[in-house]
A and B are shown apart, each in its own frame.
Chain A
């Protein structure tokens, strides 16, 4: 089987630039998504139905519809509505963040609910407010338990960011598609892209293992 390394070399600088976009967009999205997700997750656990109900709907929508469709809605409808015209990178970060928020919300809920209720009761009994109990007693313990699930979500999001090629965000898959279309060859661009994603997720995985060990100690 012929495999043309010369065309990979040709596209290497663009693929590297694309990798930078993938990293930055994924990082921004996981950070924003985790912050939004905490709000959504806490809202879903709230005693008040008017908080619980919309948050549950939010999670249902973003987990229950294809991410590609969400990306299109954000790019072609949501962003033009506020910004007047489309902006692929902004749309990409918004779509991935909103999507990640739904998944991380459930991670927070699982983590928080895994902490024994007695902890909260003890915190409240020594005069902490419910917010303080959450902030200083429950969350610090829960977050440790959430790390593996968060790592999982981050890896999935990193790979999902390849869907942004459909709205022409110049990330890894975008340049890999350009390469594929120029030479009408499938394996060189796709396997190269796969290798880059693998290196990224493998590195990320190592970082997470290190982080997990660090917080356990």
Chain B
């Protein structure tokens, strides 16, 4: 009873805090606070996860920055993308209730670090040594690499050719980290934008000679903008593969719960199904299963 009441209160607080949430949800939360006995049930209406064994009926709250199509993006007011489908599969596998909300990158990182409101972040977060100092990461679930996007007539062949050229990236991404190393810290030839969308616009308007970003983003953009005459340049020496992981606050118990589920989803073919849905090709999961 006491626990349920707390959950009801939490739902209410969450509903009030989240200014974006609709009236329906707020009403639900109010009802929960008044009734005091069905708060948990109401909050789980949001998620489509199936209830597990009943041992753990916490609704885990995930944050995702929906500005990275096709990995995660907002379709009207609903989060969609590879990560979102993958998370759904993992949580179903683990038999846990969850909810995922769109939170801007910075706020997402800070709130996942605190671990008070959100228990985890899934947002194409590459696992790096620097980030490991602040977060715990799940087993890697996605292999990605950075590629260079240039105009079709460009003579850029590798990342080293970008020295002395103007390059646009999304700040804080691994593309930013890699290009900062090549172009040099403090050099304003590297333009760090708030999102890839704006970095791509800069290329379009002639302010940059190239954009460096994750392969999924670049391919999606080339596919959707055939008239812009763009091409991708791969550079396997400078841009080595990197792996996305779910970020947890330090010492989160969730990692132990979800890692087996991630492994299962990758091995039972569900992963390949989701991958094909979003990228129209078979995934190469050899590295995912061997890097542990």
Q: What is A's interface to B at a CB cutoff of 8 Å?
A: 13-14, 17, 76, 80, 84-88, 165-168, 170, 174, 177-178, 180-186
Some 26 contacts from A to B, beta carbons below 8 A apart, are A76-B201, A76-B205, A84-B206, A86-B202, A86-B205, A86-B207, A87-B207, A88-B207, A166-B198, A168-B168, A177-B171, A177-B172, A177-B192, A177-B194, A178-B171, A178-B176, A180-B172, A181-B171, A181-B192, A182-B130, A182-B177, A184-B113, A184-B134, A185-B134, A186-B109, A186-B110
Judge if B221 is at the interface, Cβ distance under 8 Å: no
Chain B 167-192 near chain A by CB (<8 Å), digits 1 or 0? 01001110011001000011010011
The answer to whether A166 touches B205 (Cβ under 8 A) is no
Given A14-B186, A80-B205, A166-B198, are A184 and B191 neighbors across the interface (CB < 8 Å)?
no
Chain B 144-185 near chain A by CB (<8 Å), digits 1 or 0? 000000000000000000000000100111001100100001
Given A13-B186, A181-B176, are A86 and B130 neighbors across the interface (CB < 8 Å)?
no
CB-CB nearest in chain A for B177: A182
CB-CB nearest in chain B for A177: B171
Given A85-B205, A86-B202, A166-B198, are A181 and B134 neighbors across the interface (CB < 8 Å)?
no
CB-CB nearest in chain A for B191: A168
In the bound complex, residues from chain B placing their C-beta under 8 Å from that of A17 are 186
The answer to whether B193 touches A178 (Cβ under 8 A) is no
A84 CA / B207 CA spacing, docked (Å): 9
A184 CA / B171 CA spacing, docked (Å): 11
Given A13-B186, A76-B201, A186-B106, are A88 and B206 neighbors across the interface (CB < 8 Å)?
no
Chain B 100-122 near chain A by CB (<8 Å), digits 1 or 0? 00000010011001000000000
In the bound complex, residues from chain A placing their C-beta under 8 Å from that of B173 are 181
Partner of B106, one of A14, A87, A167, A180: A180
CB-CB nearest in chain A for B171: A181
In the bound complex, residues from chain A placing their C-beta under 8 Å from that of B206 are 80, 84-86
Judge if B131 is at the interface, Cβ distance under 8 Å: yes
In the bound complex, residues from chain B placing their C-beta under 8 Å from that of A166 are 193-194, 198
In the bound complex, residues from chain B placing their C-beta under 8 Å from that of A180 are 106, 172
The answer to whether B192 touches A168 (Cβ under 8 A) is yes
B37 smallest CB distance to A (angstroms): 38
A12 CA / B194 CA spacing, docked (Å): 22
Q: What is B's interface to A at a CB cutoff of 8 Å?
A: 106, 109-110, 113, 130-131, 134, 168, 171-173, 176-177, 180, 185-186, 188, 191-194, 198, 201-202, 205-207
Given A166-B198, A168-B193, are A184 and B130 neighbors across the interface (CB < 8 Å)?
yes
The main secondary structure of chain B at its interface with chain A is mixed
Interface centre among A13, A17, A185 (most CB of B within 10 A): A185
In the bound complex, residues from chain B placing their C-beta under 8 Å from that of A76 are 201-202, 205
In the bound complex, residues from chain A placing their C-beta under 8 Å from that of B205 are 76, 80, 85-86
CB-CB nearest in chain A for B106: A186
Given A85-B205, A87-B207, are A184 and B198 neighbors across the interface (CB < 8 Å)?
no
B124 smallest CB distance to A (angstroms): 14
A86 smallest CB distance to B (angstroms): 3
In the bound complex, residues from chain A placing their C-beta under 8 Å from that of B191 are 88, 168
A168 CA / B193 CA spacing, docked (Å): 6
A67 CA / B163 CA spacing, docked (Å): 33
The answer to whether A184 touches B109 (Cβ under 8 A) is yes
In the bound complex, residues from chain A placing their C-beta under 8 Å from that of B176 are 178, 181
CB-CB nearest in chain B for A185: B134
A184 CA / B128 CA spacing, docked (Å): 11
In the bound complex, residues from chain A placing their C-beta under 8 Å from that of B201 are 76
CB-CB nearest in chain A for B128: A184
The answer to whether B198 touches A178 (Cβ under 8 A) is no
In the bound complex, residues from chain A placing their C-beta under 8 Å from that of B171 are 177-178, 181
A182 CA / B202 CA spacing, docked (Å): 22
CB-CB nearest in chain B for A77: B205
A167 CA / B202 CA spacing, docked (Å): 9
**Other 9 A-B pairs with CB < 8 A, given A168-B193, A177-B172, A184-B131:** A80-B205, A80-B206, A80-B207, A85-B207, A86-B205, A86-B206, A166-B193, A182-B180, A184-B172
A184 CA / B110 CA spacing, docked (Å): 8
The answer to whether A183 touches B207 (Cβ under 8 A) is no
A182 CA / B171 CA spacing, docked (Å): 9
In the bound complex, residues from chain A placing their C-beta under 8 Å from that of B172 are 177, 180-182, 184
In the bound complex, residues from chain B placing their C-beta under 8 Å from that of A86 are 202, 205-207
CB-CB nearest in chain A for B188: A170
In the bound complex, residues from chain B placing their C-beta under 8 Å from that of A167 are 198
A35 CA / B172 CA spacing, docked (Å): 39
A163 smallest CB distance to B (angstroms): 11
